[in-house]
Structure 1
Amino acid sequence: MPVSEVELRRITVNGVALNVATAGRGPAVLLLHGFPHTWRLWTDVIGELSRRWRVIAPDLRGFGDSARPPDGYDAGTLAADAEALLAALDVESAAVVGIDAGTPPAFLLGMRGPGLVRRLVLMESLLGRLPGAEGFLADGPPWWFGFHAVPALAESVLVGHEERYVGWFLDQGTLGRGVRDEVRDAIVRTYRGTDALRGAFGLYRALPDTVRQIEAALGSARLTVPTMTIGAHPVGRALEHQLRPHADDLRGHVLPDCGHIIPLDRPGPLLDLLLPWLGEDDRR
């Protein structure tokens, strides 16, 4: 689907103006990106999804063309943003797909039950300190987690080098295959400057709060929403292993020869998993 056929809207939720891409009609599918992404992460899957569903793909607060408030980057607040966005669009329930840093807020939405989330897809991320990811973390967390988490540090040294820095993640996330120029340029544009970088790094600075929120959610309830995990390189099955003891209905997949940025690296195999999974509700 050409970008020109995607409708871009500015919708204020929780006092924050979000840039939201929408396409299609039917039951809602909410797509939550991670770092360093924007809604354009979903460029190669929106068209096919929008044939059957109403696709809603926001730039998270602090990212893309959304506003960049000074706080609110913990998963609980991002989940509240997403819930308020669905309400603003008169959506009573949605399938929710999260990747990377979009996975924890998608998970917390799912913990609120099938009245809000009818089906859940979680990709290429970990959920806090839950057991199951020891293999992935054997050598410690990825190096950039600590770099991004130090207040005001990363943005102070990266201004002027945003294209190279963001480009490194896009190349690594596609196993060196890269992202085509028009998508790459559109993403890089939104990471230029101190404020843009600070907003993106807010996710990492709020990780202690996110960890507590995940643990609190699972301390009193199980994940009852039908859930599918999709791994690639490097996370693999770590997320599936974390969720297995806590989920009532869980299916796990790993895509071979696929980088971290699944929707841009292997959109076809991703759709092969998403279309039947999301369509199960249609057949009931």
Structure 2
Amino acid sequence: MTTTRTIRANGIALNVATAGQGPALLLLHGFPHTWQIWEPVLAALAQRFTVIAPDLRGLGDSERPESGYTAMDVVQDMVALLDVLEVSGTDVVGIDLGTPPAFLLAATHPERVRRLVVMESLIGPLPGAEDFLRGGPPWWFGFHSVPGLAESALAGNEASYLDFFLQAGTLGDGVTPEFRKAVHTAYRGGPALRAAFEHYRAFADSGRQIVRALAASRLRVPTLTIGAAPVGDATYRQLEPVTDTLSGVVLDNCGHIIPQHRPELLLEALNGFLV
């Protein structure tokens, strides 16, 4: 059974879903997602783990602060959340926007992270993603990064814009109706969009945080990269030179929103790594 509650951590109110029992497993979603992205795999994971699936700051039903949207800000939220829940160590899984903070959590707090799984996102400016970026970064990165622009342009058209990502991210197969409804609700209106796009506007600062973390130490935590379309093995290539214990898999015929598009493939990969 999944329950949701509001937990104050690092000075903000986070909406957090939990399920199951056993060792902790922290799941970090991306854009345009909420914690419900994990629902197709949550029941199976809850048979082995105490699953902790927060809405990231500014997203879903979590509070929308005016500032503080770097990857390290999210890391501090997660450390504070684990403290409130009295969790000393956890496995961590991140997808899309959740990948950089998942990486930074493992890199800067290795004593809190047993194993790390990162999916379908680049790790800031690290080398290795040249093939993925050959045509330039995704167009929406620039659109989202201009303060005030995207939320103004999208006013009243949020649903069609969000559906573009939901359909493209599953190779046209679509997401569950429940998840689509949750996304449409979560990202409706200027304040919700503004908070979401602040994560993109913080990309440069987040990239510098990643570089500083790796200047201090290699990534010591055992790590798995899971790629699909379109990121493929780019994340693996980025992490290979800087990670002590790394494995990677690219899922066939799988779109970007892996938990919604191919939950059975994701569970297979996770069950083989989170042992």
Q: Aligning the two structures, in what range does the TM-score lie when normalised by the shorter sequence?
A: over 0.9
* Residue in structure 1 matched with residue 161 of structure 2 by the alignment: 165
Could you tell me the TM-score, scaled by structure 1's length? 0.96
| Residue 259 of structure 1, aligned match among 252, 255, 260 | 255
Alignment map for 1:1-284 (pairs within 5 Å): 5-279=1-275
Report deviation, 1:113: 4.5
Q: Structure 2: which 5+ runs fail to align?
A: none
The one-letter amino acid of 1:150's match is V
Does the 8 Å contact 1:258/1:265 carry over to 2? yes
Could you tell me the TM-score, scaled by structure 2's length? 0.99
- Deviation sequence 1:205-244 (CA, Å, 0-9, x none): 0011101000001112000000000000000000000000
Q: Secondary structure at the match of 1:125?
A: coil
Does the 8 Å contact 2:176/2:260 carry over to 1? no
Does the 8 Å contact 1:121/1:229 carry over to 2? yes
- Deviation sequence 1:135-190 (CA, Å, 0-9, x none): 00000000000000000100001111111111110000000000122221112101
Q: Distance in 2 between matches of 1:253 and 1:43?
A: 22
Q: Percent identity?
A: 59
Does the 8 Å contact 1:113/1:224 carry over to 2? no
The one-letter amino acid of 2:184's match is V
Does the 8 Å contact 1:118/1:225 carry over to 2? yes
Q: Structure 1: which 5+ runs fail to align?
A: 280-284
Q: Distance in 2 between matches of 1:124 and 1:132?
A: 14
Q: Give the number of equivalent residue pairs.
A: 275
Does the 8 Å contact 1:113/1:225 carry over to 2? no
Q: Distance in 2 between matches of 1:113 and 1:128?
A: 18
Compute the RMSD of aligned alpha carbons: 0.7
